[in-house]
Structure 1
Amino acid sequence: MRNYMRNTLTIFAASLLLGWFSNGSYATTYEANQKVAESLNSKAQQSDLAYKIAESLTVEIGPRLAGSAEDLLAVDWATAKLQSLGFDKVYKEPVVVPVWQRGSASARVVAPYPQPLVLTALGGSVATPEKGLTANIVRFDNLNALKHANKKNVEGKIVFIDQKTERFKTGAGYGKTVGARVNGAVEAAKLGAVAIVIRSIGTDSDRMPHTGMMRYDDDVTKIPAAALSAPDADQLTAMLARSQDVSIQLTLTPKDLGTMTTYNVIGEFTGATKPDEIVLLGAHLDSWDEGTGAIDDASGVAIVTAAAKLIGELPERPARTIRVVLFAAEEIGMIGGKAYVEQHKAELSKHYIAAESDFGAGPIYRADLRVAPAVFSQAQQLLAPLAHADVEQGDNNARGGSEVSLLPAHGVPVASLRQDGRDYFDYHHTPNDTLDKIDPAALAQNVAVYAQFAYLMAQSSLELRPIK
């Protein structure tokens, strides 16, 4: 029944769209494009190319923190991979990034219940004194509670923000808690804290802390910042329920090593009749250094690369150019995305639409767009074949994902091909982000969706601008 209803909706959508046009040649072209999209879906679902790409990146390179030696190895890997897959053009664009080295992290409860804690430095954190620091803990339910705290209750202490991340299909819980990671150190330092530890921004119960980028304010004292694993956060909370005089000893040894140049890696399959117009598929090449960066974001690299490869293998190229951008330094502030916008300002008006894969390897269930409201319904109908991959139509409020979210400000239409992320934050930014977390079948479904989306958009005759 599900397949019957899906196919019925697809046929209805196609007939509805055809009814809007009286030109017979357009109808013929539309039908041909739909058939190609269906063939791309079939080929993608049967291919293991994306899994092989993800395996290659995680095994041959592994962790690739922006600014590290492994980051540059990943750039070489990506360049060689795109060339080996037959992209018409493969090139690099320089991106200057800060170089931060994690060092070691250790902590233990000194009193009243001495025992070790498992934690990791947040990205960009300064170090503790060489011999560490020891201070009492003061706990807050969330960042807002810290902001409204009395300075006399915080001064000289280690702030502990203990906000749990809720599990959602959309990953919405992350947005509610990530502020503590990003801005907690500044708010704690304003009140005289000597350091901050947070409950990991994750949905797991593993004893594996989640790292991630944090920020400092040049006008506020920089204090060390770390994330506790969820069980260790629970342990600390249980101790504080017994005694308000819980003290910990904390040692972090990260280093700031200046800056270096890395690269965005770009590959293109040139369009047949509109080669200067671009359908952009993005992912980010860098990862954090704790796991092997499998779901964040080797899976995305694999999805968009394999999708473009399928289009490049077609007997006839689509009208527009398919451009794959493997962005540098997303994890430390979308630096590669910002560099891309700056370096491509002159041609952003030629970017027809863009989408980015950066939410793991869960199956795609919905396609959201951000296009001119006047053509939104027509754009949805063009994408009707996505129903064959169990993808429903969404709204017209897409962000596009990570770096691509920077493009709508410049008038570029975007799509969000939304993945089921219920377990994404179990592994995100942890040592547990490894290849075994990728389901090959789900990865192939992602490729099918991206390939169909990119092809249909590359062939579209709709005017997607101006976006709202």
Structure 2
Amino acid sequence: MISKSKFIASTYLAVLMSVGSFIASAQQLNTDQQAQLNALKTTALQSDLSYQLIESLTTEVGHRLMGSEGDKKSIVWAVNKMKALGFDKVWTEEVTGSYWLRGEAKARIVAPYPHDVVILALGGSIGTSKEGLTAKVAHFETLADLKAAPDNSLNGKIAFVSYQMERHIDGDGYGPAVGTRVGGAVVAAQKGASALIMRSVGTDNNRTAHTGVMRYKDEVKKIPAAALSNPDADLLVNQLKRGEEVSMYLNMTAKTNAEVVATSANVIGEFTGSELPNEIVSLGAHLDSWDVGTGALDDGLGIGMVMAAAHHIGQLPKRPKRTIRVILFAAEEVGLLGAKQYVKAHKDDMNAHVMGAEWDFGIGRIYKMTPGVGAQSLNAVRELAQYLAPMGVALAPENNAKGQSDMSALSDAGMPSINFSPDGSNYFDYHHTENDTLDKVEPEALKVNTAIYTMYAYFAAQAMVDFRK
């Protein structure tokens, strides 16, 4: 007769064996596929391909503002690179928008203590008159303070918002700062201002200004809008602190050419799945950039990573089950135009997009992965997390991710997503500036992050799970 203690022990062992058997059977990758995943990891960590692609793009093309010659060259570059990397299919899908010209921008503190200062027109801004604009400066610490100003209280003045962006590893300081850039000109115009200047949305102390898109409203008068470098914003604040009236001169030649339609394109390439070719795992980045710097970080990093990741997988003796699609989106900087057009063009097959991820932020290594999938597929995500954990990637407790940037439009259309969070502590030192150049790329971090994207894409293409459920 078996003792009670032996019965309990044997029962406990049976339960453990049952659970172990269940876990083994629930794994999405078998032993051979796990070995393949590790081999891909090694390949990516030893490869310079992603860096070589960024170097090529920034050297041979440079900046890629929507509708510019650089934008057109980048489309040809991307198509040729994808073909050279062995993509099975490569094609483009046209995207159109307005054609904005930056022109020149000059500014000067006229009184009480004259200084030339560094500004950049915000993307989409109008210019001043040919003679420029000289006016007194009305200072507001935040956009909320500007909104609280009485209507017509700024008649004939230049509104200045001095809010300073905070530095965070995840870029959380961007949201509170970017509102002035996007909507501040409308608010300032409603208060009667003749122009808006703002402290750049950036965390650096360089005498370089940060550009970025802004918006007008048809029913509100359009006024010029520009960003001031951080040191020059400090200089202006210091003059204002002295209690004297401060006046500035502003001259901008920016304009939107209404007679010209800017034509660009999404560039798309695929490695066809071996068993389920109509199911798509998408990797995204945006091909355009602002017309300052060379777009190495924003979003050359993403372009190099996703193209290299797909190439590494495409060289396997046997392809994963699902198709891996790389989408290089057009016109992200001016309003996600490429992403919106992609969703419109693919509305009938969005259900075939089983998972997506984009890279459009950060410089350093990825430290966290956040899913946005159905509850039943979380166990598959946890398995992926186990493979990525040795790379320093933690699984977030939340399951609410939307795709970054362009991929957010696909998420809104129902595509499950994974967001990878890299160290972005220094990203906004260079974002949208002349300093967005190749030397800011961290090659070793780039290799690690490319390996992570490669492993993610392979896993998502092999795992026979419906990430929507």
Output one character per residue of 1:121-140: Cα deviation in whole Å (capped at 9) or x when no partner. Answer: 00000010011011000011
SS at match of 1:308: helix
Q: 2:319 aligns with which of 317, 320, 327?
A: 317
Question: How do residues 205-216 of structure 1 correspond to structure 2 at under 5 angstroms?
Answer: 205-216=205-216
Contact preservation (8 Å) 1:109, 1:248? yes
2:62 corresponds to: 62
What is the alpha-carbon distance in structure 1 between the residues aligned to residue 179 and residue 347 of structure 2?
A: 31
Residue 452 of structure 2 aligns with an amino acid whose one-letter code is V
SS at match of 1:151: coil
Give the deviation of 1:378 after TM superposition. Answer: 3.1
Mark the runs of 5 or more structure 2 residues left unpaired by the alignment. 1-16
1:229 aligns with 2:229: yes
Cα 1:303/1:18, change in 2 over 3 Å: farther
What is the alpha-carbon distance in structure 2 between the residues aligned to residue 20 and residue 324 of structure 1?
A: 35
What is the alpha-carbon distance in structure 1 between the residues aligned to residue 272 and residue 376 of structure 2?
A: 29
Give the deviation of 1:27 after TM superposition. Answer: 5.8
1:51 aligns with 2:51: yes
What is the alpha-carbon distance in structure 2 between the residues aligned to residue 129 and residue 27 of structure 1?
A: 66
Contact preservation (8 Å) 2:27, 2:380? no
1:414 aligns with 2:410: no
2:306 corresponds to: 304
Give the deviation of 1:18 after TM superposition. Answer: 6.2
Output one character per residue of 1:11-37: Cα deviation in whole Å (capped at 9) or x when no partner. Answer: xxxx999643575xx769522222211
Output one character per residue of 1:366-401: Cα deviation in whole Å (capped at 9) or x when no partner. Answer: 111100023213322234211232211123121221
Question: How do residues 39-438 of structure 1 correspond to structure 2 at under 5 angstroms?
Answer: 39-257=39-257, 258-394=260-396, 395-438=398-441
Contact preservation (8 Å) 2:403, 2:419? yes
Moved more, 296-305 or 384-393: 384-393
Contact preservation (8 Å) 2:294, 2:437? yes
Cα 1:360/1:17, change in 2 over 3 Å: farther
Output one character per residue of 1:82-105: Cα deviation in whole Å (capped at 9) or x when no partner. Answer: 011110000000000211110000
Contact preservation (8 Å) 2:28, 2:463? no
What is the alpha-carbon distance in structure 2 between the residues aligned to residue 447 and residue 434 of structure 1?
A: 19
Residue 211 of structure 2 aligns with an amino acid whose one-letter code is T
Structure-2-length-normalised TM-score: 0.93
SS at match of 1:154: coil
Contact preservation (8 Å) 2:293, 2:437? yes
Residue 62 of structure 1 aligns with an amino acid whose one-letter code is G
Give the deviation of 1:238 after TM superposition. Answer: 0.3
Give the deviation of 1:290 after TM superposition. Answer: 0.9
Give the deviation of 1:154 after TM superposition. Answer: 1.5
Contact preservation (8 Å) 1:135, 1:156? yes
What is the alpha-carbon distance in structure 1 between the residues aligned to residue 332 and residue 180 of structure 2?
A: 19
Structure-1-length-normalised TM-score: 0.94
Contact preservation (8 Å) 2:362, 2:425? no
Mark the runs of 5 or more structure 1 residues left unpaired by the alignment. 1-14
What is the alpha-carbon distance in structure 2 between the residues aligned to residue 249 and residue 22 of structure 1?
A: 70
1:30 corresponds to: 30
Contact preservation (8 Å) 1:41, 1:389? no
What is the alpha-carbon distance in structure 1 between the residues aligned to residue 280 and residue 272 of structure 2?
A: 9
What is the alpha-carbon distance in structure 2 between the residues aligned to residue 216 and residue 63 of structure 1?
A: 25
SS at match of 2:406: helix
Give the deviation of 1:463 after TM superposition. Answer: 1.7
Output one character per residue of 1:301-340: Cα deviation in whole Å (capped at 9) or x when no partner. Answer: 0000000000001111000000000000000001001011
Give the deviation of 1:224 after TM superposition. Answer: 0.1
What is the alpha-carbon distance in structure 1 between the residues aligned to residue 431 and residue 210 of structure 2?
A: 7
Cα 1:138/1:230, change in 2 over 3 Å: same
Moved more, 82-91 or 34-43: 34-43
Cα 1:237/1:60, change in 2 over 3 Å: same
What is the alpha-carbon distance in structure 2 between the residues aligned to residue 320 and residue 203 of structure 1?
A: 41
Output one character per residue of 1:47-68: Cα deviation in whole Å (capped at 9) or x when no partner. Answer: 0000000000000001111111
SS at match of 2:98: strand
1:455 aligns with 2:458: yes
What is the alpha-carbon distance in structure 1 between the residues aligned to residue 56 and residue 120 of structure 2?
A: 27
Contact preservation (8 Å) 2:142, 2:162? yes
Residue 426 of structure 1 aligns with an amino acid whose one-letter code is D
What is the alpha-carbon distance in structure 1 between the residues aligned to residue 93 and residue 291 of structure 2?
A: 23
Output one character per residue of 1:271-304: Cα deviation in whole Å (capped at 9) or x when no partner. Answer: 0000000000000001011100000011100000
What is the alpha-carbon distance in structure 2 between the residues aligned to residue 411 and residue 32 of structure 1?
A: 32
SS at match of 2:66: coil
User: Which has more radius of gyration?
Assistant: 2
What is the alpha-carbon distance in structure 1 between the residues aligned to residue 262 and residue 216 of structure 2?
A: 20
What is the alpha-carbon distance in structure 1 between the residues aligned to residue 305 and residue 337 of structure 2?
A: 22
What is the alpha-carbon distance in structure 1 between the residues aligned to residue 19 and residue 393 of structure 2?
A: 19
- % identical aligned pairs: 49
Contact preservation (8 Å) 2:136, 2:248? yes
SS at match of 1:153: coil
Compute the RMSD of aligned alpha carbons: 1.6
Runs of 4+ in 1 over 6 A off after TM superposition: 15-18
What is the alpha-carbon distance in structure 2 between the residues aligned to residue 125 and residue 293 of structure 1?
A: 21
Contact preservation (8 Å) 1:297, 1:360? no
1:4 corresponds to: none
